[in-house]
Structure 1
Amino acid sequence: MAHRVIDRPPTAATLRRLERASGAIATRAVARMDEDLPWFRTMPADQRSWVMLVAQAGIASLVEWCRSPDRPPRLTGEVFGAAPRDLVRAVPLKQTVDLVELTVQVMDDHVESVAEPGDADALRLAVLLFSREVAFATAHVYASFAENRGAWDARLEALVVDALVRGERSEELPGRASALGWDGTGPVAVLVGVAPADGDTHADVRRAARSHRCEVLVGVHAEHLVVVLGGAEDLRSAAERVTEEFGPGPVVLGPVVDRLSAAGGSAAAALAGLRAARAWPGAPRPVPADALLPERALDGDPLARAALTERVVLPLRTAGGDLLETVRAVLAGGGNLEATARALFVHPNTVRYRLKRAAEVTGQVATDPRGAWTLQVALALADLGGERSLWH
């Protein structure tokens, strides 16, 4: 941006007087801020001292500019470099504009008392032009901060999501996520699928999640889009909306966990489900990872095999009442209850009662296609694998 050159800069004598008065002017400016800006009075003492340093640096920069009017003012370094970068984080842009405006007003009020006779108009014009340069520099500082913060946030978010994908259970994860605005309370679940080929994926996913008042972290690993959802009571509904932003193919929702530091388990289950989902072409979208336990177990997922043992095999074995024998007979008979009753020499209502009890203890209905498939795989793996001892 081209800067405005002062046609007639203030005299050297005026500039010397301005230098001597700079401390008093800065002090008066801060006092005006304290009088006129209620939020300024609540600032910590260290931040208020930073504002004083910036005001003094601004007056010093004005003097140097007036002495060399052909030189563009280096306001970003000379003025804003007087305070730590944390000041930009602590004071919003609108409040900084108010601070600059008050400082310029105070400088303008002191023009008559500082300027040599006949030099007031030149000094007032210099203050006006300089204030315009400060306004542009302020916008540049905050734009640079926002750009750097955005890049830093993106890197930090990628690290958090990558740690979850790798199964890291570090207690540092919530702290890192909180730096990204994650509240840290409520249930969490991980959603995975194919990343879309085009579009602003991160922004689209965030809009979709926040439409359900859901906290969200987004990462792309190879061709996979990984979305961490949290904070909402109904994560399933949020996942259904976010699924619309994924690319073609299956989308798998990991089990809900109670905190972010445990979300690695949800991510592991979701990724295992995504690998096995092609074995269930008619799966809903999204499909819960637990609904893919049979396919995951056949794909070699030890967690899925353990879950089938715990949720299906052991409950049937310990329930008694011939439940296991009845479930095997129903599966062998293709779900025909009358044929099962004849094979077991019992009444069909007895078969129905036993199947109801089996559904209560396992969560699987033997006459439902998916339930029958899950029961068949669980029992077959128990017969073939290390769970054989369960039957003895």
Structure 2
Amino acid sequence: MPSGRGGDISRKRFLAGAGVAAAGLAVAAGPALRPDRAAAGETAAGASPATGERRGLTHRGVCYELTDGETPHTGWSATRMRADMKAIKEKLHANAVSVYGDGVDRLKATASEAAERGLKVWLQPRLADRPHKEILDHLAETGEHAERLRRQGVDVHLSVGCEFYLFVPGIVPGADAVERVRNLQEGNFDPEKMQRRLDSFIERAARTGRSVFRGPLTYGAAQDDTVDWDQFDVVSVDYYAYHRRRADYVKELKTYLRWGKPVAIAECGTCTFKGAPQQGGMGWDVVDYEKDPPEIKKGLVRSEREQASYLSDVLDIFEEMGLHAAMVFNFVSPDAPHRPVRRYDLDMASYALVKPIWKTPTKPTAGWHWEPKEAFHAAATHFARAATR
């Protein structure tokens, strides 16, 4: 997932990684969740009050981004999308997919293809840096399609958006997500005003979603966001935490269970280098975009094994806690190719389960392809094993 900061970064390149950037910045957003009630009869994280048995995840899947791409060959295409959905179902052994991005037509097409493949669908529109009305209209039109799928018998959730303080103008100062991240990092914002504006827009988005969709509604929150979850049916969090002990993951995640609602991990994962899990949601920030072509910063060592190991560990924890869903971030980042020369191997800064292989050194041709990483195989093994339990 290529991303970064600075005036010379393309907007598309930044937005490809901004969703996880916020996970590392969320501490600026204010206090943690405001749980106001305990889950009735809760005896253990994810356990049945009656029997204490572990339920396991209901939805196991991967995030699939819809993007314009840096080049004509790396943007969304119906042909590639259909092949990817087939691989997600048959090779990754997922039973769900989180379809996110902008462009109502491609959101509809991708969600419909996933449903036809027998996948459970999580649909999340992300229209960024546009007037509030346009963002809400985009949500409403996407939600109408989610409702049509629901009426056809598809298991579908609608997320009204993701980490609004990054993507929606007027919550945090800044003309775009790049400037908003910079202002968050440098403390150039009023936390109380930000929270009021965030609460207001989340409420408007929730009302918009409810007006068109009758199924389960949620919102993709950053890990430490303050959200009134009474507005939603599912508590969803983008979770990129790193702990040395499994017990610390459980302790942290139980905070979300206190709302008495299903808990979904809307995003999880790590990048492809040693030490990436410790970087959490900022793992992507290891590319020097001041150089042409961009380079991976010195001292990093590629490690597919570490990415796979972290993912296996957190998926096991989510299963043991009986959370509702877990979506691995993400399937493919077409503009972050794997290259044999380490300093140009942008896939190291990617959370993706597969690595794009370009046929040319600089610009991809129409014939680029992806190959599975160790993390893909780790997730596939986990999903297949869990499905048989």
* Same fold, TM-score > 0.5, yes or no: no
Instruction: Name the one with the larger strand percent.
Output: 2
Which structure exhibits the higher relative contact order, with contacts defined as CA atoms closer than 8 Å and separated by 6 or more residues?
2
TM class, shorter-length: under 0.3
How high is the TM-score relative to the length of structure 1? 0.20
Instruction: Name the one with the larger helix percent.
Output: 1
Radius of gyration: which is bigger?
1
